[in-house]
Structure 1
């Protein structure tokens, strides 16, 4: 089993000890994906340059991380000095005064080099509140050999109709090959990230301009029904338990014809050390339905400092190191350009060496095609592509994600899941005062 296919299901701690007995210890909460695990392996570069700082890592599965850091920062628990948080949390927590501004990072850090789409999501009223470790959108990753065997050719910009046709044609359940692997695990950042972005391309939206929930719309019914039918016909068994890590493992071991997920996964599925299909992977933009919106999202896993930490200076030194141009060069030197954290810096995509990476251009095109200020076909009162940037969204979408996972597991129908989603969302929005 490879490093990246071993999902860490609980929180695990790894401490890298600096040499002085009285070193200042930074506790870093992070997510258990490949890029973050690689950062831990390379962190001796940081401790060598900063021998007075010791690093303690708390590495968690995505849903667990979100719960832990949200609870800690809201209660001022003080467990962490550096947090890995996403584009959803940064504007909300920044406005609450829960994060330390990073506007005073050194000039050589070159904050203007951060891709505008990514930087914009981490900046509130001119203050940068988090530094992106990697940025991503979503795209189609597919097996070229299975596509050819099915007698089909993947377009650069496919439709959902084509994806459905190709997935069913590539499926060979007798040999445990499934045409498509899609997120099914319940979670606002798991199945709901995929389904919200997908629904956008079907003309659906979370709320109308008056904050009325829209799960009773025809567009949401079409999107969810398409997803459930596709997964029943061409998806792997037990899909309601599969999130990013589980689908990554399935794809790497040759079980998936297509996987529509985070662009950051491209380096993992094309690495021969980890992927049995590395030489057969192709890439395409996330699908659309001819309505002007693709089913791709916009996200950055970023490093931030909780307000009130007693170790602000040391935390800024670490963030400067981990999200710098020099860190990208360090990864390239140790692991190759294909494994550099993507989607954060303009200079990376201008680098001739990085331009040779087969998924570099598709990743950048995907990031640039997502518009969080105009995410849906019809107007909406919110910002966010695969999320709604309001504090209530995390709780609402977790519950909605459970309803949709239950439909995928066959425990409820699509209509029942949508009715549950409508009731859950409407109740919270009325209680929170969005709906009078």
Structure 2
């Protein structure tokens, strides 16, 4: 997954609870080498796992197998180049963490070990499992997920008499009440938050692109695409945000929310924490509440992009047998439950037999309630080409919000998506 998007933010969600440490890291992640018969090298991303969990897992593994485990923490900057290099060399790394939308690309190039024979029958979350499979073969173990929720200012909502919504219709009613009864911006919504749009399109049964024979084609010029964009535009009309920016430009949590009177916004756990800290630095006090992005009915929340990470074994691992055993232990029910517990339920478990029990009223509670409606963009090696700037989905959104003809803009976006997604 792209570092500048959910790849980084999902992992930083875990970092709110703990900071990971390990031996052998020089700050760049370019350390050490793969294991041999008596050792194992594991790459984890900065902020992914609590120190206590890593230490206890490795101690248990070493007691059982007599193999020393070295965990090397990798920084996000330049990680794709380092992963590509490591997976093309013998013995550089044994087990590695990979963003969930990156997995299919590394598997397709032959860099990852097939794991079906070792992880058959595990009860994975459906959306997370799909990110670890290529043509029905499992190339990684889902580790954890995280997603966006609606973050709202309790005091502004109370002033407006607005109620927490369970449906899209109720959401609009609440924003109208805030607009009529307060001076606050009802919702801050950038014009180009395309993963939010993707969830709305998924609510309508659509997607950014669909399989077409041996390839893919763009699918925005469809009833589902139009309906998703129409609802996005309905929400965005309550916002003063420009139509040509995204949530990172400017950074909504630290550059927008602390400096404006905003009643609600859509964000990630690390963003909520960052906004609260920035407000406190200015002498204020954040009074945030959280609820899942509402769906079309009260029966279930709206679809959300389920970012997160998978654990994989390098095809060129120096100790593949032990690497598979470490991965299997790390993602077992026992250690997956310990992982979630160590983070106070702050991630969505990858296994359906693991329970997340976050504090009532917390961001994590709202996030976990959306776990069953997790959504991912097309899982194909060409998807990264679509996200490259200028992103055709973002350009479509701005055009539609600025009053352009949706069908014309969507047709152009679909042509560009089709060209890019089928390019290796």
Give the TM-score, by structure 1 length.
0.64
Instruction: Identify the match of residue 258 of structure 1 among 233, 255, 264.
Output: 264
Matches within 5 A, 1:4-403: 16-17=23-24, 24=39, 26=41, 28=43, 30=45, 36=48, 38-39=49-50, 42-46=53-57, 48=59, 50=62, 52-60=68-76, 65=79, 67-68=80-81, 71-72=84-85, 81-90=94-103, 93-94=106-107, 97-103=110-116, 112-115=122-125, 118-119=128-129, 121-123=131-133, 128-136=138-146, 138-155=148-165, 157-159=166-168, 161-164=169-172, 166-167=174-175, 170=178, 178-182=185-189, 191-202=193-204, 204-207=206-209, 210=212, 212-217=217-222, 219-221=224-226, 223-224=228-229, 226-227=231-232, 230-231=235-236, 233-234=238-239, 240-243=245-248, 246-247=251-252, 249=254, 256-261=262-267, 265=269, 280-288=288-296, 294-313=302-321, 315-316=323-324, 318-320=326-328, 322-324=330-332, 325-326=334-335, 328-329=337-338, 332=341, 337-339=344-346, 341-349=347-355, 354=357, 357-358=360-361, 363-370=367-374, 385-399=375-389, 401=391
Deviation sequence 1:48-97 (CA, Å, 0-9, x none): 55483322211216xx65x4467447866986544333444445654654
Give the TM-score, by structure 2 length.
0.65
Q: Distance in 2 between matches of 1:53 and 1:328?
A: 21
Q: CA deviation at 1:111?
A: 6.5
Q: CA deviation at 1:302?
A: 1.3
Counterpart secondary structure, 1:326: helix
Instruction: Identify the match of residue 421 of structure 1 among 402, 413, 419.
Output: 413
Q: Distance in 1 between matches of 2:114 and 2:93?
A: 16
Deviation sequence 1:145-180 (CA, Å, 0-9, x none): 33222221122x321x544454465479x99x6533
Counterpart secondary structure, 1:98: coil
Counterpart secondary structure, 2:73: strand
* Uncovered stretches (5+) of structure 1, i.e. residues with no partner: 186-190, 371-384
- Residues 399, 423 of structure 1: alpha-carbon distance in 2 compared, 3 angstrom cutoff: farther
- Residues 198, 209 of structure 1: alpha-carbon distance in 2 compared, 3 angstrom cutoff: same
Deviation sequence 1:227-262 (CA, Å, 0-9, x none): 357446425579825249944557985965333356
* Pairs aligned (count): 381
Deviation sequence 1:335-389 (CA, Å, 0-9, x none): 6x344x332233433x7xx27644677545422245xxxxxxxxxxxxxx43113
Q: CA deviation at 1:286?
A: 3.5
* Alignment RMSD (CA, Å): 5.3
